[in-house]
Amino acid sequence: MKIFGHPGSTCTRKVLMTAHENDAPFEFVDAALIERWGASVLTAAGVLETFGVVRAHDVIDAVHDLDGEEEYIDELRAVLGVDEPVVVTEFVAVRDLEFVRADAWGAALAMLSQPPLRAAVVEQAVIVGGSMRARMPSYTAWWLRRHGVIDGRLASSDPLLVGLFDVATVDGDDEFLAAAGALRDIDDADHDEIARRLGDPDRVVDRAQAKALYARIAPRDAVIAVRAVRRGELVVVDAADAVIVDAPDLLPLLGNLAVVPVALGDASRVADALDISLASERAQFEVLSNGVAHGDHVVHERLSVRDVDGQAQQVSWRLVDGVLRVDAGALDFGLGRGRAWRDGRWVRRYVETELLRGAVSPSVLLAEADLD
């Protein structure tokens, strides 16, 4: 197989040859032949001026000598999970991608984004096995994604990716870029990479964004660093210095530990996913003071609880073994929060607290709660 460049050709030595030119199975047509016969005659005879394309129907096995083809076919089989052979009804693939030089992918992608090569990237492969049928990325799209050719996200991608990933700078419309590997949403990205970037202090991520991302990712490996809240500021800390809160009354008892922003309902799952300890696992947080029972709670003149470092701390409330203990100096706050947590209605903590304070009409508060 030979490949050539000629005046006006979109294919050049810079685009298609690898950094080690002897690795590529290409040579260039002599300029004298181009002068004598012209480009159209030579391309008609089989000389390439762009990427070659494989087209086949009812493909079952990897028989086209494409880089990674066998792995691609195996992944297609695994999707359907049937005993019968899995058939790619129409197989279209751009060949020789493995020979593109690393510094030439911008030009190569510009070629791939235009007809007739574009269809080999954006059009999905239809696979059939028994009574099962599915659409999967084409071989070319799979290869580009697998090799991380496009680095970054779409300008129109999920806002949760903003700050973590830069906008892809290569040419192409959104459909092409997404097919080739540009990130559109969290599911397009490797979760370990998201976790790593969340732990990179050079990335700009806000508190709500970090909370939403940690709630959705499931990295394969334990994280090394996390984005967490310490003294009211979102910072990056070692995972060992972070904690996930699974009971709200432990918030003031965590000393210098940084709190990963996670909803209480997600605490256990996210702790397992990130391999970070729960707050309740860090200490016993014993109540040190004595109080007097009042109906469904115990009032302490000064509610003192041992914190994660073993020091006595005054807190507003603490729920231990179903017993709600509150500090006399923060009775409304402690009862409002404590009862909401004890009764499994944490979302109503603001309403419960305001009802106790009596500053606003109960009918107004309850009407507002109906809107939540």
11 and 75, same structural domain? Answer: no
Distances in Å between the Cα of 59 and the Cα atoms of 72, 92, 119, 127 are 12, 10, 18, 9
Q: Which of 160, 189, 218 lies at the terminal end of a domain, its last residue?
A: 189
134 and 69, same structural domain? Answer: yes
Indicate whether 195 belongs to any domain. no
183 and 68, same structural domain? Answer: yes
pLDDT at 362: 85
298 and 267, same structural domain? Answer: no
Instruction: Identify the band that residue 38 occupies on the pLDDT scale cut at 50, 70 and 90.
Output: confident
103 and 37, same structural domain? Answer: no
Indicate whether 286 belongs to any domain. no
Instruction: Identify the band that residue 46 occupies on the pLDDT scale cut at 50, 70 and 90.
Output: low
Containing structural domain, residue 161:
53-189
236 and 173, same structural domain? Answer: no
336 and 232, same structural domain? Answer: no
Indicate whether 175 belongs to any domain. yes
pLDDT at 2: 35
328 and 223, same structural domain? Answer: no
Q: What is the DSSP string of 89-158?
A: EEEEEE--GGGS-GGGHHHHHHHHTSTTTHHHHHSPEEEEETTEEEEE--HHHHHHHHTT-S-SB-TTS-
pLDDT tens-digit series, residues 100-138: 988 889 999 999 999 999 999 999 999 999 889 999 999
Tell me the C-alpha distance between 100 and 14, whole Å. Answer: 9
59 and 2, same structural domain? Answer: no
149 and 41, same structural domain? Answer: no
Indicate whether 248 belongs to any domain. yes
Report the domain count for the chain: 4
333 and 223, same structural domain? Answer: no
pLDDT tens-digit series, residues 208-226: 999 999 999 999 999 999 9
pLDDT tens-digit series, residues 267-311: 999 999 999 999 999 999 999 999 999 999 999 999 999 999 999
185 and 57, same structural domain? Answer: yes
Indicate whether 363 belongs to any domain. yes
pLDDT at 27: 65
Indicate whether 217 belongs to any domain. yes
Indicate whether 4 belongs to any domain. yes
Take residue 283 and report the two structure tokens written for it. Answer: 């200490």
